[in-house]
A and B are shown apart, each in its own frame.
Chain A
């Protein structure tokens, strides 16, 4: 009885929440916006160095958000690695292996790497970009991991640290360099904008893939006896 009461109480509270939210959405949709953001973006698109408006917003007009985002990702990756049970993320004992998957990978992995490269390049003038490419790259890394391919760069050491921090470091370097050069923080010189954006996107792709892969790997896959670790399985 208590449980039914609690469920109905929570349900009615959630319904009230949804009703309030829907009311607010209706009110907002009825009022006109003071600035026409898409039009202003279309006016300034020529100065950004890329043709895709989403990429222009992400890496030029609002690149501060993207810088902080990759910072959050690096922190999440480091935190995930540091609570991992094993000292090395690339322990042969933790590596699963599946022969069928392994055979399939010889077809899939090159295609996925090609797709990641295409998405990265396509980001400058059509939908695509660092995050989509990074996700595809991380997915191919996870497939490789599940198929039992050794990935030495996941051992604690220079490669892991470099891979995790490369995107954030290069992004920050560009930001500080443009500030030191007399401009504002994160304001690229217009003639270099396209080059800088492509460089930043490339290192972002690598770092995002590395963070996602490290987070996947730091939750070990085969641990049949581990629930006994706490003694209360």
Chain B
């Protein structure tokens, strides 16, 4: 049990916390944060697991660096989409309009 392995286990725990939030929370921005937490957990597992035997391993580090940049871009795109969705529908979660919105509001949202 080396400290590096501890990083990998912490990454697994982060994945679990992120999954919990991703399933339960309905607010889209928080869902996005939870999803990012899962991603960070995966990065931590990748780096921690690779370096527990023979010190820092540049190959997974480079892959994680690539992953971080893609994750940032995807997160930013998701925020743009969520804001657009909010502008069009006035809602912050993805519940279907048939269940919880009065018909006139649903029509207004669709009209936009």
A-side residues, CB < 8 A to B, are: 6-7, 10-11, 13-15, 17-18, 21-22, 25, 28-29, 32-33, 36-38, 41, 53-54, 56-58, 62, 65-66, 69, 72-73, 76-77, 79-80, 83-85, 129, 131, 135, 208, 211-212, 215-216, 218-220, 223, 226-227, 229-233
Contacts and interface: CB of A to CB of B under 8 A. Distances in A.
A74 to B, nearest CB: 9
11 contacts: A7-B24, A15-B16, A53-B58, A57-B61, A66-B66, A84-B80, A215-B79, A230-B90, A230-B112, A231-B105, A232-B105
Contacts of A18: 12-13, 15-16
A206 to B, nearest CB: 14
Interface residues of B, number: 52
A233 B52 CA distance: 52
B91 to A, nearest CB: 8
A231 B109 contact: yes
Contacts, number: 148
A58 B66 contact: yes
Chain A at the B interface: SS class: helix
Given A37-B57, A66-B66, A212-B73, 5 more contacts: A32-B53, A73-B69, A79-B77, A85-B87, A219-B80
Contacts of B49: 25, 28-29
